[in-house]
Amino acid sequence: MDLKYCMVTPVQTVYFYDLHPFILGNDFDINVADLWSSSSPWPLCNMPKSYFFLVKNPWLWRMSFRCSEPELLHEALFTGYTAIVGRRFAQAFEDYKPHLIVSVHPLMQHVPLKVLSRMKTDISFPATKIPFTTVVTDLTRCHRTWFHKDVDKCFVATELVAAQAMKVGLAANQLACYGLPIRPAFNLPSKSKDEICHQLGIDAEAPTVMLIGGGEGMGKLEATAEALAKTLSSSQQLIIICGRNVKLAEKLASRAWPMRVLVKGFVNNMSEYMLACDCIITKAGPGTIAEALICGRPILLNGFIPCQEEGNVSFVLDNRVGSYSESPEEMADIVADWFEGDGEELKNMSRRATVLGRPEATFDIVRELSDMACRAHCDQGSI
C-alpha cells in the first residue's frame, strides 16, 4: 500500500517526519514541500528568510504580526498571492498526488485551500477527497492565519489554542489537543542520568544549569554565562549551547572559567543534555519549553518574540514551573537560589513540569494523521 503525505511548510524541520520508522513503517511516502520558497517568484520566494531579521528587530516583528492579523487584510493578501502562485501550487499537488496534506506553518492554510478548491473541477485530480490538516506549532498565542474553517483537522498544543481556534470559527470536532509536536527522542527509552553524564563528560553529582541560545545562538549568552560563573559555586556546573554561532562557541570554550563549564555548538542530542542538567535558561520558544517540561526541568526564561511568545512566559509562570528575567545578574541569582540547600523549590518545579509534559504528543498526532491517510487512500483508490 503506497500512501502519500504532502507536508507544506516554509520550515525546514518537521519533527513528526522522524517518526517514519517508529509508527509509519515503509507504507508511507512522505514529502516535505517548502511551497513558499519553491513555488513563489522572486522576491516572494525569499520571504521565509526574513524571519530572523524580523525577530532581531522586535518592534518590526510586532508591527508585522499585528497588522497582518485582521481577517479583511490577510484574506486580501492571500487572494492576491493565490493569483500569483496558484498554478505553481496546483502543479505541485498534481506532481505529489497526496492522500493527505499537512500544513505546519501559519502561512500555509489559506492559499493551498484556495488552490485545492479551484482544482475541484478537474476530474483527474480528486481534490475534494484529500484531507487537509494543520499542526499548530505555537503553545499559547497564535496568529490568526493558523486557523481556517475548511481544514479537516487542526492539531493544537493547549486548550488556550483550541479556544482561539473556536473563536475564529473552527468547530470542536475539527480540533485535536495532543500537545506540541517535538523530537521523538524525548519519548524514546532513555539511559540513566549517570550514564548520560558519563557519555557527555559531565559531573553527574554537580548541580547543573544549561544555558541555551537556540539554533542560531541568539541572546545574551556571553553576559549570562559570565554572571553565572561569577555567582555560582565552583562545585556547580554550567552547560552552554551556542547553536550555530560557531564564533561564540569557540570564544567561550577558550576562556578560563572559575567553575566547570561545557561549551557546545549545535547539538542533535538535546534530550540527553536536558536530562543531564537540573534546570535550563532559554528564551520562551514553544519547542524548548515543551521539551523541558517532558524532561521535568524547571525553566528560567530570558526573553521572547513579541506577540507569538509573550503568552509562553505567562504559561510558565502561572504553572509555577520556572521564572523570568532579562538581566544576566538576576538570572544568576535565581539559579543560585534554586541550587541553595536541598533544592526543594527546584524539585517541586520539576514535579509540576513533569505533570505538564506531553511526551506522546508527536506520536498521537502521527497516529491520527496516518489513520486519515489510510481512510483517504481507501476512498480515492490507488492514485
* pLDDT mean over 168-175: 97
Q: 28-33 and 237-241 as β-strands: parallel, antiparallel, unpaired?
A: unpaired
Q: How many CB atoms lie within 10 A of CB 160?
A: 17
Mean pLDDT to the nearest integer, 297-323? 96
**In terms of pLDDT, which residue wins out, 349 or 26?**
349
Instruction: Calculate the CA 154 to chain-centre distance.
Output: 16
Q: What is the pLDDT of residue 1?
A: 43
Segments of the chain assigned E as strands: 3-8, 28-33, 100-103, 132-135, 153-156, 175-177, 208-212, 237-241, 260-264, 279-282, 299-301, 322-324
Q: Is 68 exposed, middle or buried (0-12, 13-18, 19+ CB in 10 A)?
A: middle
Mean pLDDT of 237-250: 93
Whether 216 shows a pLDDT value over 60: the answer reads no
Cα–Cα distance measured from residue 263 to residue 272, given in angstroms and rounded to the nearest whole number: 15
**How far is CA 280 from its chain centroid?**
17
pLDDT at 142: 96
- Identify which of 48, 23, 50 has the alpha carbon closest to the alpha carbon of residue 34: 48
Give 67-124 pLDDT, tens digit per residue. 999 999 999 999 999 999 999 998 888 888 888 999 999 989 999 999 998 887 766 6
**CA 134 – CA 66 distance, rounded (Å):** 21
Give the lowest-confidence range in 24-28, 257-261, 355-359. 24-28
pLDDT-derived band at 126, boundaries 50, 70, 90:
low
Q: Averaged over 25-40, what is the pLDDT?
A: 80
Length of the chain in terms of residues written: 383
pTM to 2 decimal places: 0.91
Q: By percentage, how much of the chain surpasses pLDDT 90?
A: 66
State the pLDDT confidence band at 242, using cuts at 50, 70 and 90.
very high
Contacts of 122 (CB under 8 A, 6+ apart): none
DSSP 244: T
Report the range of poorest mean pLDDT among 9-13, 139-143, 293-297, 371-375. 9-13
Q: What is the mean pLDDT of residues 217-246?
A: 91
For cell 511551497, name the residue: 35
pLDDT of residue 373: 86
- 191: confidence class by pLDDT, cuts 50, 70, 90: confident
Distances, alpha carbon 210 to alpha carbons 194, 236, 261, 293, 330, in Å = 17, 11, 10, 14, 16
Name the residue with higher pLDDT: 39 or 248: 248
59's enclosing H/E stretch is helix 58-67
Do 294 and 186 meet the contact criterion of CB atoms below 8 Å apart?
yes
What mean pLDDT comes out for the span 205-228? 86
293 close to 321: Cβ distance less than 8 angstroms = yes
Residue 98 pLDDT: 87
Range 249-269 average pLDDT = 95
Please give the average per-residue pLDDT across 129-142, as a whole number.
93
pLDDT of 50-74, one tens digit each?
A: 877 888 888 999 999 999 999 999 9
Q: Quick one: cell of 275?
A: 536530562
Answer whether residue 189 shows pLDDT above 90. no
Q: What is the pLDDT of residue 16?
A: 54
Query: In the numeric block, which cell numbers belong to residue 346?
Result: 527546584
C-alpha cell, 129: 477527497
Q: Among candidates 265, 301, 267, 270, which has minimal Cα distance to 283?
A: 301
The cell for 364 is: 498521537
pLDDT at 21 over 80: no
For residue 117, give the DSSP letter. H
Average confidence (pLDDT) over 123-147: 85
Q: What is the pLDDT of residue 42?
A: 83
Residue 274 CA to residue 280 CA, distance in Å, equals 8
Query: Which of the two residues, 192 and 176, has the higher pLDDT score?
Result: 176
Residue, of 44 and 306, whose pLDDT is higher: 306
Contact 374, 127 (CB under 8 A): no
7 pLDDT tier (thresholds 50, 70, 90)? low
Mean pLDDT, the chain, as a whole number?
88
Of 37-46, 125-134, 296-305, the poorest mean pLDDT is in 125-134
Q: Supply the pLDDT for residue 292.
A: 97
* 201 contacts 308 by C-beta, under 8 angstroms: no
pLDDT of residue 12: 42
**Three cell numbers written together for 206:** 554537580
Closest CA to 180 of 358, 322, 354: 358
CA dihedral 69, 70, 75, 76 (to 10 degrees): -110
Share of the chain above pLDDT 70, in %: 89
pLDDT level of residue 383 (50, 70, 90 thresholds): very low
